[in-house]
Structure formats: structure tokens, C-alpha cells
Structure 1
Amino acid sequence: MSSPPPIPTRVVLLCGPSGSGKSLLAARSGLPVLRLDDFYKEGADPTLPLVSGSSDIDWDHPDSWDADTAVASIVELCRTGRTDVPVYDISLSARTGTEAVDVGRTPLFIAEGIFAAEIVTRCQELGVLADALCLSRGPVRTFRRRFLRDLREGRKSVPLLVRRGWRLMRLERSIVARQSALGAHPCDRHEALGRLAAAAGRRPAASPAS
């Protein structure tokens, strides 16, 4: 029996706390990028989790995100170079359409988002994972950058942004620890760029935790 054809493209999963600089790093890498934030569930979804002791939706909980659809899109990109993905408006908590993502014949692309670590094992088992990175800048720097970005983009109401920002600042070290336990290598921007360059030049990839 012949072996299955090799997968032409692989993915680097890039996670880290909200505001840690994932999008900027992905853009700086020069690689094609899949935005995993576009796979959030819509605001009316009854399965959305709440912040403990609050009526606020917990958008930082993995259950607020559609992992199955995200994985299916990653696999399709790896096998065919193209997929259709949702377009998500964070300020509306809603999907506003779809768009085509085309990575062509590139051997590597980045899928970035705060929940990327949640699918490390699945992508590894499916044979599409090149590496998994967890970007960290420190709680105070991340808090400041996240708040200014979210305020500038009008993502949510100011009181919600303050409550969320304070909560995430206190939780940042545990967030990084969880994502590392799921298989994402914790690193700063400089190391992340080095690992991306290495991943672009190697096939098959090494273990994401190496």
C-alpha cells in the first residue's frame, strides 16, 4: 500500500495573552496569517461562558471560540492552500460575512490568536503542525498595550475593557503557564522570530516544545 501524499504546507500556532503582540509579530514575519479571532462564537450563542460572579461574557475562555471550525480551516489551508473563513466584528460580537484566505504554495503560515494553544495537540495529530509559540511581554506592558488597542478600536464598552484588563493582568502568568502546558513554547518576540525562521526552513518539523 502506498503512503499518503505529503502535506505541502504546515502551520505555526501563535498564542499568548491578549495584547501580547501576536498580530504585530505575525505581520513582521512576512508569512501568510490566519486570524483565529475570526472563529469566536456569536454573542447570542447560548453556550458562551460567563465570568465567574458576573453577567459579563468571558471572551477569554476557550468555550467562547469555535475550535472545530478553526482546525478544519487550518487543515484545508495546509492541504489545498485555500479556505473560506468567517469575518468577525469584535465590537458587535458577530460574524459579518466570510472571506477567502489563500496561502498559495507557501510551505508555512501562521495561525494566531489567544486560543491557538487549545488546538496544538489536534494539529500535531493531524500532521500539520510546524511549531507552537506563546508570546509574552509581562503583565503590566500587556495590560497597557491591550487597553489602548481595545479603546482605540472600540472593541467593547470602556467599563468592560477596564474590568477585563484588570482581570487579565492578574491572570497573565497563569495564562502563559496553561498555554505552555498545552504545548506552546513560551518566548519573547526575538526568540519567536528566530523559531519562525527555523520552521520556514525545516520539514518535517521538530516537536513544538523542543
Structure 2
Amino acid sequence: MKTLFICGGSASGKTYLARMIMRQLQSATLMSQDAFYHDRPSGSAADRHDFDFDQPYAIDWDEMKAALESLCQGEVTDIPVYDFNVSLRAGSEPLVPEGDVLIVDGTLILSQPKIAALGDVSVFVRAPETLRRARREHRDVEERGRTITFVRQQLAEQVFPAHDQHVEPSAVHADLILDAEDIMRDPEGTVRQVLELLEQTG
């Protein structure tokens, strides 16, 4: 099974691209870095919301690596289910590998050598801060029940600093860098470009 990594800033369009590729392939497996946030049940809800989820220490990389290796072997693998509304894990569910491609999306996957080494093709989606801000504000308010004040504070104090510190520098490890606005203008052409690159790998 080939592995395709899609990396980029929060709300850059990684998941959108991953889903378009999934539709084109018809049969593929999708896994997200977001499933592997450390569980923090002992803290209060306020403490959990204040935790910096954009730093590498927020992710259980060993668990994610084990899941990647298992899926690449064609094995059914239990993947954590993370509930963003309460910032806690909500159990796990089996992921059945399908097709010949495993797509993995996440902000930090190219910043972690032991994870990045498992990718056959790595794509970085680059989006301007204004676009990422607008998308993140809409998503967190509409889908995750956050207040706009909380979202803007989190962006300023955690998301954007972590992006500059960890996410953007990891673009040097990508095989292909895509502009988010180009993806929106020509989604089909973008998918073709990624799949052609994937086909070139052994």
C-alpha cells in the first residue's frame, strides 16, 4: 500500500484535497493526525480548551506510527475517535484498509522524522493566513461551538505561532507544494497532479 501524506496549516484545505483524491481513487484509506491527540481526562474542560493542541507534544506520535505501519501491512487497525467539542477521546473504532493508497493528513506530520519517513509521496498545502483565519473561525464557531473571542485568541496565541515554528518549515520535506487558491480554482487538475506523482513512485 502506498502512503500519501497531505500536510499544511490548520484550515489550509488538507482534508478537502484528501477527500477529492479519495473520490477519484474510489477505493483508498484515509487517516488523520487529529485522531491521535493525547487524551487528557483528568483536567477540567477549561484546562483542556486552553491546552496548546498545535504543538507536537499534543500528538501521540508513537501510537500514530504504529497505526500507520499496521495499515500499510493491510491490517485492520483501531484508531482513536477524538471529540473536539469536549477535547477528549471518545473511544476508538476499527479502520479497515481499502485500496492501494493510504492518505494521511495533518498539520505536523512532515515535522516528525519518524512519521515523515513512512510517506511515499508528501504534499504540502500552502494557504495565506487570511484564508486560514477565515476558515478556522467559521469551522470552530459553527461546528465546534467555540466563541469567536476564544477562536481568535487561540489563533493568535497558539495556532499561528505553531504554524510559523513547526508547520511552515516542514514544507521543505514535501515532494510537492500546492497553493490553496490554485486548488480551489482547478481541483481536478490538482488531483491529477498528485496522482501522477503517486504513480511515479515504486
Instruction: Classify the secondary structure of the residue corresponding to 1:34.
Output: strand
2:104 to 95, 111, 118: 111
What is the rounded CA distance, in whole Å, between the counterparts of 1:72 and 1:107 in structure 2? 19
Sequence identity of aligned pairs in percent? 22
- Structure 1 residues not aligned, in runs of 5+: 1-8, 205-210
- Unpaired runs of 5+ residues, structure 2, are 23-27, 184-188
Partner of 1:197: 195
Q: Which residue of 2 aligns with 1:10?
A: 2
Superposition RMSD in Å: 2.6
Task: Tell me which residue corresponds to 2:126.
Answer: 136
Deviations 1:181-209 (Å, cap 9, x if unpaired)?
A: 4x1343225486344302442342xxxxx
Q: Secondary structure at the match of 2:177?
A: strand
Q: TM-score, normalised by structure 2?
A: 0.78
Which of 11, 14, 18 is the aligned partner of 1:26? 18
Per-residue deviation, residues 8-67 of structure 1 (Å, max 9, x unmatched): x12111111111111111111124210210100123478xxx9xxxx9311110101111
Q: Evaluate the alpha carbon distance shift between residue 143 and residue 70 of structure 1 in structure 2; reply closer, same or farther with a 3 A threshold.
A: same
Question: How many residue pairs end up in the alignment?
Answer: 184
CA distance in 2, matches of 1:107, 1:199: 15
Q: Aligned pair 1:178/2:172, yes or no?
A: no
The alignment status of 1:187 with 2:184, answered yes or no, reads no
Change (3 A) 1:155 1:19: farther
Q: TM-score, normalised by structure 1?
A: 0.76
Q: Which residue of 1 aligns with 2:32?
A: 35
Moved over 4 A (4+): 169-176
**Higher helix proportion, which one?**
2
